[in-house]
Every structure is written in C-alpha cells, then in structure tokens.
Amino acid sequence: MTKKRVLTGVTTTGIPHLGNYVGAIRPAIAASHAPDTESFLFLADYHGIIKCHDPELIHESTQAVAATWLACGLDPEKTTFYRQSDIPEIMELNWILTCITAKGLMNRAHAYKAAVQENLDKGQEDQDHQIEMGLYSYPILMTADILMFNAQEVPVGRDQIQHVEMARDIAGRFNHRFKEVFTLPEVKIDENVELLVGLDGRKMSKSYGNTIPLWENDKKTQKSVNKIITNLKEPGEPKQPDESPLFEIYKAFATPAETAEFTQMLAEGLAWGEAKKMLAAKINAELAEPRERYSALTANPAQIEDILQAGAQKARQQARVLLDQVRDAVGIRALK
Ligand code: ADP
Ligand code: TRP
C-alpha cells in the first residue's frame, strides 16, 4: 500500500498558542497516527527569520515549538520530524524554484500585498518601502518545503491556503517546463475549525500578541480567557454565538453535542463570566497531560535536539534523492 504523504510546518517566532494548536498541530498529529499516512512535520525556522529579527526569540521559540509537537503526541518514530534549517537541500531547491517562479505570482501574495497596502495607507511614496525579499519570496520557500518531500496533503489554517495553491502552481510549471518531478500538493483544512480569533478581535497570531498561550497553568489560562471580547449583555439576557469569539474557541474544544448545549445555554442567558469558566475548563482538561509532558521536555533540551537530529538524518536521505532529480532536470549534473 502506498501511503499518503502529509506535511506541515510551524514558524519559530513565538510560543505556540491555541490557534496553532487547533488549526495546525492537532489535526496534523491526528493525521500522523492514521495507518495509511506518512507524515512530515517541521520547524520552519528560516520562515521565522523573515518576520522576527530577535535571535533569542527565534532560538527560544525553536525549543518551544519542538517541545509542543512532542508534548501534543507527535511520535518521532512514525513521523519525520525535523528543523527546516537542518535540511540544506530545501535551500537549494528554494533557489531552483525561485528561478521558475513568475514575479507576478509573488506580487499577488497576501503577506506582500498587505505590506504594500500598509505603505500606501501611510502615504509612503515607495510602495515597497522597508519590504524585504524574504517576505516577498516567502511563498517560494514554503513551496520548497512542500515539494522537497513530494507532499500530497498539507494541513494548514485558512490563512495559508493561498501559499499551498502557489506551491501547486510552481510545481506544475516546473513539471511542464522540465520533467514530471513534483507531486501537486493539496491543501487540507479542518472543516470544523474556523480561524481562531484572538483577544483583540483580530486573528489569533503570535505577531499580534493577542494569543491564548498553550503552556500556561489553569489559572493563567482562565485569566487569558477572561480577556476575550464580549458585549455588555447582562446575565439572563439571551446571547448569540456570533456575539463573541469565545464561542468558536469553545467549539474547537468541544464535541458537537457539547457545542449545541453551549449554544442553548447562551440563548437562555448564560452569563459571559460563566461561559468563560466553561471554556477555560474545556481547554485545561484537554491540555492537562500535554502540559506535564511539555514541562519534562523543556527541562531537557538536549533530548529534543537529539530527536531533531535523528529526524534531519531521515529527511535528508529522501531530500537528496529528489534534489538530484531536480538538478538533473534543469541540467545541473556531473560532466562525463
Ligand atoms: P502565527 O500567525 O501565530 O504566527 P503561524 O503563522 O506560525 O502562526 O501558523 C502556524 C500554523 O497555525 C499555520 O498552519 C496556521 O494556519 C495555523 N494558525 C495560526 N493562527 C491560527 C488561528 N488563529 N486559527 C487557526 N489556525 C491558525
Ligand atoms: N508559512 C506557514 C505558516 O506561517 C508555516 C510553513 C512553512 C508551512 N512552510 C510550510 C506550512 C510548509 C505548511 C507547509 O503558518
């Protein structure tokens, strides 16, 4: 039986939060346990240095993200688990793909367009003011991550759909121009999960400092949850699910039956304070065991490093084979 290849990564620019967990880590780990899949899970530290220029944070976050995956149930025996920067083949592939990627495609990338829009909104004459090439070329590096292992399925949050589509586009272009080397990847979105909203009402993101962190104790989690925006409705007043982002977070941690019950309770006037207690209790229950494993792992970083090095070795063996095919396809090969 040929197994389905599933691949995803997390950038190392902060301590993982509920959005990362619900949108990426939990579904990827669930998929990695399926007998018919082969998983590739990695720390995107070269993506990290695009947005984050604080070396200490990159370093700390690499440890935190690695410990997070392991604490959440990743089995390094079953999964190829590695750090992007330990696989130099990815950077080689990144360049080759850069040479075939249309500039116009990159002009349309959301992150770049948002940066341009910010300049225009500020009245900057140069629309590319302070935009670096790393940001501009970000989708090409992500494409290299995905194509390096011929991933068939890429589970990500909704904000990343465009990048996976670009990876398909670039893979198709390479196959057409040179040789059928690459598998066209497909994006996989967990249909039950919306993009979680953060404490300030924007997308929950490390970059916005509006997250509910994963690895806090029960009390601190309750404190974070208490900061979720609600409205001024009093206890006893009927409330609708869309009146606060707390509903979507609850849904992400509850069964459909529990979610239906929660909706009913809100409609019957459940106080926001009580709803927040119910939410924190759900989060804390699901994370109790992973939190214990996380503490043990972070107390022993050398053990995490060993796991990553073993993963890199496994990954590089495969990466080399594909990269040799790619180099050959573009005409880079030994003279004989
Ligand atoms: P951040 O925005 O916090 O920097 P990353 O860009 O590192 O997060 O995203 C890592 C993974 O987590 C991606 O697959 C992304 O789509 C997912 N993700 C990030 N934020 C959220 C969110 N608020 N809700 C659901 N998934 C998310
Ligand atoms: N760009 C992704 C994010 O910010 C992280 C990432 C890097 C990734 N390379 C990837 C995700 C390859 C999936 C596949 O969320």
Q: Is 221 helix (H, G, I), strand (E, B) or coil?
A: helix
When the pLDDT of each residue in the chain is averaged and rounded to a whole number, the result is: 95
Ligand 1 atom closest to residue 44's alpha carbon, by position in its atom list: 7
Where does the pLDDT of residue 14 fall: very low under 50, low under 70, confident under 90, or very high at 90 and above?
confident
Residue 186 token pair: 């497909």
**Does residue 1 surpass a pLDDT of 70?**
no
Count of C-beta atoms within a 10 Å radius of residue 267 = 12
Distance between CA 311 and CA 207 in Å, rounded? 28
Report yes or no on whether pTM surpasses 0.75: yes
> Within the chain, which residue ranges are assigned CATH 1.10.240.10?
215-295
Determine the Cα angle at 200 with ends 259 and 71, to 5°.
60
Pocket of ligand 1 (CB under 6 A): 10-11, 13, 19-20, 22-24, 156-157, 159-160, 195-196, 203-207
- Candidate from 28-42, 116-130, 157-171 with smallest mean pLDDT: 28-42
**Arch. (CATH architecture) of 215-295:** Orthogonal Bundle (1.10)
> Within the chain, which residue ranges are assigned CATH 3.40.50.620?
4-195+301-330
Q: Is 99 helix (H, G, I), strand (E, B) or coil?
A: coil
Residue 9: strand pairing partners: 42
What pLDDT does residue 192 have? Answer: 64
Average pLDDT over residues 269-274: 97
- Candidate from 46-50, 121-125, 153-157, 265-269 with smallest mean pLDDT: 153-157
What pLDDT does residue 145 have? Answer: 98
What pLDDT does residue 13 have? Answer: 87
| Cα distances (angstroms) measured from residue 281 to each of 185, 234, 252, 269, 276 | 38, 22, 13, 19, 8
Average pLDDT over residues 209-235: 95
Distance between CA 13 and CA 59 in Å, rounded? 9
Ligand 1, from 20, 22, 29, 195: best to mutate by most atoms within 8 Å of Cβ?
20
Average pLDDT over residues 64-85: 96
What pLDDT does residue 193 have? Answer: 61
Return the residue whose CA atom lies nearest to atom 1 of ligand 1.
205
Average pLDDT over residues 18-34: 86
What pLDDT does residue 201 have? Answer: 87
Residue located via tokens 């590739």: 40
Q: Is 101 helix (H, G, I), strand (E, B) or coil?
A: coil
Where does the pLDDT of residue 189 fall: very low under 50, low under 70, confident under 90, or very high at 90 and above?
confident
Pocket of ligand 2 (CB under 6 A): 7-11, 44, 47, 142, 145-146, 154, 156, 160
Where does the pLDDT of residue 30 fall: very low under 50, low under 70, confident under 90, or very high at 90 and above?
confident
What pLDDT does residue 2 have? Answer: 86
Of the chain, the percentage scoring pLDDT greater than 70 comes to 99
The residue among 250, 228, 183 whose CA lies nearest residue 4 is: 183
CA–centroid distance, 44 to ligand 2, in Å, is 7
Average pLDDT over residues 271-286: 97
Where does the pLDDT of residue 194 fall: very low under 50, low under 70, confident under 90, or very high at 90 and above?
low
- CA dihedral over 239, 240, 241, 245, signed as positive or negative: negative
Rg over CA atoms, the chain: 21
The CATH class of 4-195+301-330 is: alpha beta
CA–centroid distance, 204 to ligand 1, in Å, is 8
Where does the pLDDT of residue 309 fall: very low under 50, low under 70, confident under 90, or very high at 90 and above?
very high
Report CA dihedral (312, 314, 315, 317) to the nearest 10 degrees.
Answer: 120
Ligand 2 atom closest to residue 155's alpha carbon, by position in its atom list: 13
Where does the pLDDT of residue 159 fall: very low under 50, low under 70, confident under 90, or very high at 90 and above?
confident
